[in-house]
Structure 1
Amino acid sequence: MNFTNVVHLLKLVFLLFFTCLWTPHAAQWVYVSSAEISSPGDSLNPGDTLNSSTYVVSAKGTFALGFFHRIDGTTNKTYLAISKIDDQSSLFNVFVWFGSRDRPIINNSGMFTFDNKGTLKIVPQGGDPVVLYSSPRPTENTVATLLDSGNFILKEMHSNGSMKQVLWQSFDYPGDTLLPGMKLGVSHKTGQTWSLTSWLTDEIPVPGPCKLEWDPKGCQLIIRQRGEVYWTSGVLKRGNRFRSISLDVTSMYNFIVVSNEDEEYFSFSNRNQSLMSEWLLTPMGQLKDLKGLDIARADNCYGYNTNGGCQRWKQPECRHHGDTFDLISGYIVAGDLSVNYNSSLSISDCRAICWKNCGCVAFTSWFHNDTGCRFWTGNWSFLSGHPSALSSIFVLSSNPSQSGTKNWIWIGISIAISVALLIILLCYRLRRKVVSKGNNITKDEKELLHLVTLERSSVNDISIDGEKELDLRVFSYAHVAAATNNFSSENMLGKGGFGPVYMGHLLTGQNVAIKRLSKYSNQGIHEFKNELILISKLQHMNLVKLLGCCIHEEERMLIYEYMPNKSLDCFLFDQNRSKLLDWKKRFNIIEGIIQGLIYLHKYSRLRVIHRDLKASNILLDESMNPKISDFGMARMFKQNEPVANTNRIVGTYGYMSPEYAMKGVFSIKSDVYSFGVLMLEMVSGRRNNSFYHADQVISLVEYAWDLWQEGEGIQLVDPTISDSCVIYQVLRCIHVSLLCVEDSAIDRPTMSDVLFMLTNENMPLPLPKKPAFSIGRKAIGANILDKESNAHSVNGLSISEMNAR
């Protein structure tokens, strides 16, 4: 085996041992075997076989072909697939092709063979083979090769070693992913069509409801759902432009259209040849670039609207322009419930069925794997943010009929004329007012201008790269009021120290979370300005995204991306929802928090100390990926400034490091201490103050330390993850947590050290010293308070009180 193959082999082994992977589909895909992996290189010759521990790796190590295993708790399915290996994003794995999506192997003993007759086939144990290619005639000098484009080809070779022809290729059988060089269209010679078909759900790869096709006659891309045209791109114009695809997308690619007597197709290539990109078609009909750009949003099409490329189709008379289904976290406490147990229905099928039923007001999936449907009809009542909330309920947002009589038309015209006259009058008066005041602007305008063009932070007087503008949007008060239905109680998600938090629905269809500073809050313009300036400068996948702000008279509001799964504490400390967090998901969340903190402490343009890291300030997106939130108390540092001191202690007792709580001294090691407490909560599923001994509350740190001293650390583990946890990994997390909460800040590791210790299992760990606040109390006899039935944070946007507690 040459050096290049050794490198590829090591890369596969590296990916294997980190099976807590995120994929665009689900986090439950793993390599089949933990046995020693071997690779025959990038090709198979006649007579070669792949099993669960052998993989074909492309020449540059960008793709791997082999068997992958899906775990969903009830099934044991294995698929032959091609997986992308991305060095730049480390543990990142995308499945771009499946050998047989609808015929998985029900055990781990399947084989992929390239026999001496030139046949490619998947052979399950005790079952019929799945033939991918069978030669119509004996062919000599054939070889099957996985290319760095992600294409697996069977080719016939000349005697001199050059390629004679391609007999078969995986690019002719697309799944839900379009790679550069793949075709969408039709071959007139063979009659074969090339199109993408979505997965049934984000976890189940069998063909789903949505298709992406190329329309040669219209020279456009089309997205269909169960045959109905939902979206079109519009005709490809000069300048590499589609009408319904944004310039942000088109600027990244070269679009290729071929039309001749043999074939008609569409394909694309990357303008930056050093990058590799993919297009993914989701079960809801969204077409997206896996680097995060939306290409098409067919999931926003309802049949009455034509914006963004949406197409019209016949609508039920009860549905009107503006009616939508909004994804809301909550609980329906009234209404008639009906269930469709058909496991071949996806969530987009549920939406189509509910849309056609005039009595249907809400829907969601029935089974845990997001198949089947449940519908609500009749009079209903919805509680937003209820502790028993389902993770995804789509609720009808209904607008009255837009049709009207001629009388209403004339009334509308009269109103429009009146409004126009009023606007003219107001403009005249404003113009006189402006002239009388010269070039002066209002106090609110000055303050807003000051906040969004600030070059230097008022905190520590730290320069922010000399930039004169923050990359955020300024929302008008009217816009925010409309998005929240005039701040109605139905839109309120909860309250924090900052003030109430509302869910808003923008005109673009985007859901947002809006923090509104209460006039009774003990937090003021200082914290508002601090979070506005600081978080707008931070860009990381594990930090909450600030979309904009609003300042109007005495109003101060911050607008964030909406997190449908709220915050970590809503799951972790709830008796029922904690069961949804198995160990694999918890460890994935732990890794995400670490990555976010490393960015804040080391790689951001500013060195940032969060100062209030806790479970309620960790948001969870729709894929349960963590995002650190709530930067109102954060402090920015100069790069050469190791520590700082303050007379104003802020944060939450139990998570504060001793030097900060007692002396006001804080540094990056303060966040390390808080993370140590948080990781102990992740392992135990208990709040820091949910333990008591001799009728006195003791801290989780004390309890964990005493168990560790007794060699009983495993007793700390949450019973709900006892079946899913990896014992040595859990114990290592407890060990590292105790290193993080040591009394002396200098003895604690950095967050980079923490990541290295958790991901390098053979690295010996130092013994932890007695942690801060531990009084040596024996914890073996300690009692544990019951898990809470309620979670108090809302959308992860709760703000701690501005005094230590």
Structure 2
Amino acid sequence: MGVGEESSSLKYAITMASLFLCCINSTAQQTNTLNQSHTLNSTQHLVSTNNTFTLRFFKPSNTSANTYLAIFYSQSSIPIWIANTHTPITNASASLIFDSTGMLLINQTHGDPIHLCPSETTITAAAKTTAVLLDNGNLVVREVNSGKTLWQSFDCPSDSLLPQMKLGVNHRTGKNWTLTSWLTQDDPSPGPFTLEWDPTGVQLVIRRRGVVFWTSGTLKNDIFENMSLFNDLLQYYHMTTDEESFSYSLKDGRDDPNPTSVRWRIGFRGKLEFGHMGVQLENICYGYNTDRGCATWEQPECRSDHTTFVLMSGSFMNADGDVDVGHFDASLGPNDCRVSCWNDCNCQAYKNSDEMGCTTHSRNVKFRPDSSSASQEFYVIQRPQDGTKKIKKWIWIAISVLITSLFVSVIVVIFYLRGKRKGKASSRENHLLQLMTPHNTNELEDDYNFAQHIKVFNFASLVEATNNFSEENKLGEGGFGPVYKAWELWQRGDGLELMDPILSESCCTEQFLRILQVGLLCVEDSPADRPNVSQVISMTTNQSIHLPLVNKPAFMNLDKMTSTNFRRQDLDLEYHSVNGLSISIVDPR
């Protein structure tokens, strides 16, 4: 074999060996178990058998100097559990190992080892143990021989709750299961919010710096009173002699194809997250309102009801017209900054930030809105008198428009109904005219059977003559109805005034006055003075018949009679009794 062939064979062997070692290394990295003889360094990780969860070291951001050991959903960059939230690894490399008792600890090149949260099980002697990342995301330490669980990450929750995890208290060991938010977006240090289980109220409780901030409401029939995020889950409240706790699991024990959608998380701003949904409680709970589960607490005198923070873009200008840089406090996180500004009556706004550091602006500077991309965002305190003036203005405008519209609508409806009634009345009058007007007046006037030549007046002519039966033209009322002005005009000798001017040229005045006199005789007060039908026909057709004098019609309008027409004693004799104390009037026919 030549030198070239030997060289090629050597390269091939090295390549195959490298591939073999890579495969071995890859297989080792995909394991879910860590034995006492092994360590897990910053380049290695454990993966659950179902590939859903991964245990590894990480840094919250590219600029962070701190390192943490955490469990992730394999498809997510946000951890669901962190082993060392209180003691980050700073500027050093670290590894996960077993101590002499068989328990896990984090060893770092600079600094003391970091022990994980205490175990509920007391270990009296060294035990042969192994660590396993289970398919439900729980990291457990088990005794090899007995399989007994000596420690588990589910007993040390951070900011997330998974199915089969617990919230509550173990009275036997004193262990309390509580979620704690991060301090900022990139700082897993314990933040201001905690999520706890209240066994007395059978509800979930969020506290902010120890003060009740929000409650879920009582759990009834697997539904919380103030939450609507759990309709697809089966929740249950578990209470035994040793513990009072709450946990949940998927309905019917099924597996979710997207495991990240079933995680609960309490955010650093107080947001209660469920999978990809959530409620930003920071924006609805101010301490003076109780809607949607918000709790109340003592308020500063300067913060009245309905005062809120409003996110706005712009800048602050001082009295000299220069940009105000505000006051900066490096020790406050985002929510603590918000609370600090709210409690300070001189604070007008604080800068929006997800990192450490708090910039506030006093009420002595003026905010100038600016929606450009170069402007910064601030949470500006909006008081009712500031934010509702324009709103109230538009409300009053809307109310005015509404009232005007209603008024116009009412007027239109009134006129419509009035017109409709007039239309109905007109229709009734027309119908009455048709009923009261003979179909053939000529036939009645030229009745050859009787040869009486009766003059017929239709209803319309009577309406015209009496001015629509006006009270001004009414004299009295007889047995057949009202009597109008004819009597009064007859007494004055002005009977021709009753004639329609249109008839003045074609009508014979003597004939008109004769017919008028016959009509007045027909309504005489005394029935004996009234002509019968035969006499009326004779009087109107035979001009030679002498007509009796007209006395007075029944039920005259005495107010329009003059003293010369009747004597007072005549009226007294006719209408009054002998003693003058009573009146007797006889109804005609």
Distance of aligned partners of 1:296 and 1:389 in 2 relative to their CA distance in 1, 3 Å threshold: closer
Alignment-derived partner of residue 81 in structure 1: 70
Which of 114, 121, 124 aligns to 1:130? It is: 114
Identity of aligned residues (%): 37
Query: Structure 1 residues 401 and 230, CA, compared in 2 at 3 Å: closer, same or farther?
Result: farther
Preserved CA contact (<8 Å) 1:350 1:365: no
Q: 1:423 to 1:245 in 2, by over 3 A?
A: farther
Amino acid at match of 2:298: K
The answer on whether the counterparts of 1:298 and 1:310 sit within 8 Å (CA) in structure 2 is: no
Q: Distance in 2 between matches of 1:40 and 1:61?
A: 9
Map Cα deviations across residues 38-93 of structure 1 (whole Å, 9 max, x no partner).
Answer: 526111222321001211111111111111124443x422111111113xxxxx32
Q: What corresponds to 2:98 in structure 1?
A: 114
Distance 1:434 1:180 in 2: 68
Q: Secondary structure at the match of 2:342?
A: helix
In structure 1, distance between residues paired with 2:281 and 2:124: 46
**1:288 is aligned to 2:273:** yes
Question: Per-residue deviation at 1:126?
Answer: 2.4
Letter matched to residue 396 of structure 1: I
Q: How does 1:477-516 map to 2 (within 5 A)?
A: none
Pick aligned residue for 1:324 from 289, 308, 332: 308
Instruction: Say which of 366, 380, 384 aligns to 1:399.
Output: 384
Moved over 4 A (4+): 35-38, 335-338, 417-435
Alignment of 1:417-566 (within 5 A): none
Q: Which of 333, 338, 360 lines up with 2:347 in the alignment?
A: 360
Distance 1:364 1:334 in 2: 16
2:242 is aligned with 1:242: no
Q: Distance in 1 between matches of 2:56 and 2:205?
A: 32
Distance 1:251 1:59 in 2: 29
How far apart are 1:425 and its partner, in Å? 5.5
TM-score (norm 1): 0.43
1:220 aligns to 2:207 (yes or no): no
C-alpha separation in 1, matches of 2:412 and 2:178: 58
Pick from 130, 148, 166: which aligns with 1:183? 166
- Of 246, 266, 284, the residue aligned with 1:266 is 246
- Residue of structure 2 aligned with 1:42, choices 23, 27, 32: 32
1:179 and 1:59 mapped to 2: Cα distance? 17
CA shift digits 1:70-128 (9 cap, x unpaired): 4443x422111111113xxxxx3220111101212123521110245212100110210
Deviations 1:522-544 (A, max 9, x none): xxxxxxxxxxxxxxxxxxxxxxx
Instruction: Kindly report the root-mean-square deviation, in angstroms, between the aligned alpha carbons of the 2 structures.
Output: 3.5
- What one-letter code is carried by the residue in structure 2 that aligns with 1:202? Q
Among candidates 167, 179, 184, match of residue 196 of structure 1: 179
Answer yes or no: is the 8 Å Cα contact 1:231–1:298 preserved in 2.
Answer: no
Higher relative contact order (CA 8 A, sep 6+): 1
> Residues 363 and 376 of structure 1 are in contact (CA less than 8 Å); yes or no, is this contact kept in structure 2?
no
Q: Compared with structure 1, are the counterparts of its residues 67 and 423 closer, same or farther at alpha carbon in structure 2 (3 Å cutoff)?
A: same
1:296, CA displacement in angstroms?
A: 6.1
Deviation at 1:223, TM superposition (A): 1.1
CA distance in 2 between counterparts of 1:432 and 1:64 reads: 77
Query: CA 1:433–1:294 in 2, change beyond 3 Å: closer, same or farther?
Result: farther
Question: Is the CA contact 2:102–2:128 (under 8 Å) kept in the aligned structure 1?
Answer: no
TM-superposed CA distance for 1:179, in Å, is 1.1
Matched, 1:349 2:332: no
Deviations 1:674-711 (A, max 9, x none): xxxxxxxxxxxxxxxxxxxxxxxxxxxxxxxxxxxxxx
Query: What's 1:61 paired with?
Result: 51
Does the CA contact (< 8 Å) of 1:111 and 1:123 recur in 2?
yes
Counterpart Cα distance in 2 of 1:61 and 1:42 = 9
Counterpart in the other structure of 1:796: none
- Residues of 2 paired with 1:427 and 1:84: CA distance? 64
Q: How much has 1:376 moved relative to structure 2? A: 3.1
Q: Distance in 2 between matches of 1:46 and 1:430?
A: 92
1:12-23 aligned within 5 A: none
Partner of 2:576 in structure 1? none
Give the TM-score, by structure 2 length. 0.58
Deviation track 1:611-637 (CA, whole Å, cap 9, x = no partner) reads xxxxxxxxxxxxxxxxxxxxxxxxxxx
Unaligned runs of 5+ in 2: 1-21, 388-398, 418-589
**Contact kept? 2:103, 2:141, Cα under 8 Å:** no
Cα distance in structure 1, aligned partners of 2:112 and 2:385: 56
State the SS of the aligned residue for 1:400. helix
Amino acid at match of 1:273: D
Structure 1 residue 382 corresponds to structure 2 residue 368 = yes
Gaps of 5+ in 1: 1-12, 14-34, 87-91, 403-416, 436-805
AA of the residue aligned to 2:65: N
- Superposition pairs for residues 565-584 of structure 1, below 5 Å? none
Q: Letter of the aligned partner of 1:352 in structure 2?
A: V
Amino acid aligned to 1:244:
N
Specify the SS of the correspondent of 1:355. helix
1:322-355 deviation line (CA, Å, top 9, x unaligned):
1111122222233765424333x21111111111
2:86 is matched with which residue? 102
Give the distance between the partners of 1:176 and 1:378, measured in 2 at CA.
Answer: 39
Q: Report how many residues are paired.
A: 374
Contact 1:232 1:310 in 2 (8 A): yes
> Counterpart in 2 of 1:588?
none
| TM-fit CA distance, 1:369 | 3.0
